[in-house]
Each structure stands twice: as C-alpha cells, then as structure tokens.
C-alpha cells in the first residue's frame, strides 16, 4: 500500500467516488505519439507522396505470379509418354478419385450425365472425344454452358488422369444414362 499513498487525490467526490490526480503514464503517452507519427507518415506516403495504389500493387503481384509461372519448369511430355500414361490403369484410378470430388456433381458418379452430358457414350458436343479434345474441354471449360474451366484449379497431371478415366469409361453404358447430346463420332 505504498505507492498510492503518495498519490494526490483531487477534491472531486461523486456519490463517494474519489479521483487521483496521477499523471499520464509515460509509456502510454509514447505509444500514443508513436501511433500518431506512424499514421501521419503512412498517410503521407500513400496519399501525398505517390506511394503505390492498391490497384498498382495488385498488378505488380499478378505480373510477378505470371513470371513465376513461366519459370516453373513444366516437363514437356512427349506424345508417346502421354499415350502410355493414358493407358495406365493407375492414372484412371487417380482420375476416378478426382472425378468424384469435382465432376460427379454434374456428370454423375458413373459419368452417366446429369447437369452435364453423359461422358461414356459415342456422342460429343466438343470435338470427337480424342485425348486432346477432352483435355481441352476440361482445361478451358465451356463457361457459357456451365462447364467450368479447370486449368487454374487442376494440375496438368490431374487433368490427364481425368482424361484417362473418361477414355477408360467409353461405352460402359452406365445405368440411368442421360440421352445423347452432340455429334455421334463412332
């Protein structure tokens, strides 16, 4: 009970409540002044001194990402590599896993179609059901028709595995298949 005994009481009294006349704590004052100075400098930098706008910062960051992407070495797969990978049952199995999570909501768990078309029949809306055609549709999507583009979400490998799955499921005639859409190719 030592320190506060030295404190000066003011002569105020309200319903029995008294008040000390203690000075403002120094560290508190310093914090306050510090934040005010920081605020001022920050404001000067961004609003007067020509600091970058949010838009400029975003553009910068997007360019950096772009450059980064180009640097990332994507192994160029040869045509033959691609074909072997496409036949690899492990690829199709990996594709099945991704398909359940990302595609089945629209194309049905057995690829039989639903919101999107049946992917097992001989009818194709886009291309002729070749590896390139399928990969292209998955990558770019058909945004106007409600097929999302996947290239920003899935890696090259995942897209290939999905393609492998679709190729492996051709002519499986799943139950409840959606009526054909598009051109008959086979």
Q: Which residues here bind other proteins, judged by CB under 8 A?
A: 1, 3-4, 9-10, 12, 14-25, 28-29, 31-32, 35-36, 38-40, 42-43, 46-47, 53-55, 57-58, 61-62, 65-66, 68-69, 72, 74, 101-102, 105-106, 114-116, 143-146, 148, 152-155
- Residue from 110, 117, 164, 167 binding ligand HEC (CB under 6 A): 117
Closest by CA position to 119, among listed 76, 161, 26, 182:
182
Tell me the backbone φ, ψ of residue 159, rounded to 5 degrees: -65, -40
Residue partners of 147: CB distance under 8 A and separation at least 6: 106, 116, 137, 141
State the binding partner of 119 from ligand HEC, other proteins, none, CB within 5 to 8 A by kind: ligand HEC
Which residue lies nearer to other proteins by CB, 58 or 130?
Answer: 58
168 sits in which H/E element: helix 156-168
Is the CB of 89 or the CB of 143 nearer to other proteins?
143
CA distance 33 to 107: 62
Among 18, 45, 128, 145, binds ligand HEC (CB under 6 A): 145
Q: Please state, as a whole number, how many other Cβ atoms lie within 10 Å of the Cβ of residue 137.
A: 21
Q: How far is the C-alpha of 49 from the C-alpha of 43, rounded, in Å?
A: 9
Task: Give the binding site for ligand HEC (CB under 6 A).
Answer: 102-103, 105-107, 115-117, 119, 124-126, 134, 137-138, 142, 145-148, 150, 162, 166, 182
């Amino acid at each position: 009970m030592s320190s506060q005994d030295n404190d000066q009481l003011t002569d105020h009294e309200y319903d029995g409540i008294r008040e000390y006349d203690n000075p403002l704590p120094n560290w508190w004052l310093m914090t306050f002044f510090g934040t005010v100075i920081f605020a001022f400098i920050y404001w000067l930098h961004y609003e007067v001194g020509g600091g970058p706008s949010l838009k400029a910062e975003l553009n910068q960051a997007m360019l950096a990402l772009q450059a980064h992407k180009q640097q990332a070495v994507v192994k160029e797969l040869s045509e033959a590599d691609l074909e072997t990978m496409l036949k690899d049952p492990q690829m199709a199995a990996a594709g099945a896993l991704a398909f359940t999570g990302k595609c089945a909501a629209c194309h049905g768990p057995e690829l039989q179609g639903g919101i999107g078309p049946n992917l097992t029949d001989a009818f194709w809306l886009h291309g002729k059901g070749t590896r390139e055609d399928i990969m292209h549709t998955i990558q770019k999507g058909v945004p106007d028709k409600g097929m999302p583009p996947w290239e920003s979400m899935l890696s090259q490998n995942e897209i290939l595995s999905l393609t492998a799955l679709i190729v492996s499921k051709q002519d499986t005639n799943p139950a409840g298949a959606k009526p054909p859409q598009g051109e008959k190719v086979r």
